[in-house]
Structure 1
Amino acid sequence: MIEPKKHRFLTTEQAAEKLNVSPNQIRALLKTGELRAIQVGGRGMWRIGISDLEDYIAEAYRRTAERIEAGEIMDDGESNAE
């Protein structure tokens, strides 16, 4: 059986689907530089490397763990910073 070809890059819509967020949230992460990507083509379409998305996820886990350790995040997503 032939395996489907794996793509190196994702569109903003594909990245949004993988993170279960809106494409607008992905574009916001791109604008702040929190998520790395490249623009290609004359219309400047964004492409996000799969490894860049995985790096973003790993960094988000690290930051979350730090916030839990510092007592900033409580059970069920409640925040202590209010």
Structure 2
Amino acid sequence: MTVFFPPDERESPARFMTLDDVCETLDVSPAVVYGLVRSGNIPAIQVGPKKVWRIEHVRFEHWVRDQYVVTQAANAMYDEQGLASTAAR
């Protein structure tokens, strides 16, 4: 006989995050997160009669990974232009 145990909620995050969840994760203000959502930088949906914002956890994780790529590219360009050496002076 096979015994099935439901997944532990602590091991897998909820499918959707609130804006407050994102604020806490990124350690930024609600205004910053709201701006990123409204501009379309962070993919989000509005649900329910109150049109509350929700961000799918998987999409948020992809966005975070993309931000590492963007940051690395910006840093590489910064270094190529020699701005890093002049900024240190």
TM-score by length of 2: 0.74
Residues 17-47 of structure 1, C-alpha deviation per residue, up to 9 Å, x if partnerless?
0111112211100111000011000110000
Aligned partner of 1:71 in structure 2 is 78
Query: Following the alignment from structure 2 to structure 1, what is the Cα–Cα distance between the partners of residues 33 and 59?
Result: 13
Name which of 6, 9, 14 aligns with 1:4. Answer: 9
Provide structure 1 residue ranges, at least 5 long, that are not aligned to the other structure.
Answer: none
Provide structure 2 residue ranges, at least 5 long, that are not aligned to the other structure.
Answer: none
Query: Following the alignment from structure 2 to structure 1, what is the Cα–Cα distance between the partners of residues 55 and 18?
Result: 6
Query: Following the alignment from structure 1 to structure 2, what is the Cα–Cα distance between the partners of residues 30 and 64?
Result: 19
Q: What is the one-letter code of the residue matched to 2:60? A: L
Query: Following the alignment from structure 1 to structure 2, what is the Cα–Cα distance between the partners of residues 44 and 74?
Result: 44
Q: What is the one-letter code of the residue matched to 1:71? A: Y
Aligned partner of 2:32 in structure 1 is 25
Aligned partner of 2:66 in structure 1 is 59
Identity, % of aligned pairs? 28
Comparing 16-25 and 28-37, the one that deviates more: 16-25
CA RMSD, Structure 1 to Structure 2 (Å): 2.4
Aligned partner of 2:50 in structure 1 is 43
Which one has the largest radius of gyration?
2
Aligned partner of 2:41 in structure 1 is 34
Query: Following the alignment from structure 1 to structure 2, what is the Cα–Cα distance between the partners of residues 74 and 10?
Result: 37
User: How much does 1:4 deviate?
Assistant: 2.1
Q: What is the one-letter code of the residue matched to 1:7? A: A
Runs of 4+ off more than 6 Å: none
Q: Matched residue of 1:47: which SS?
A: strand
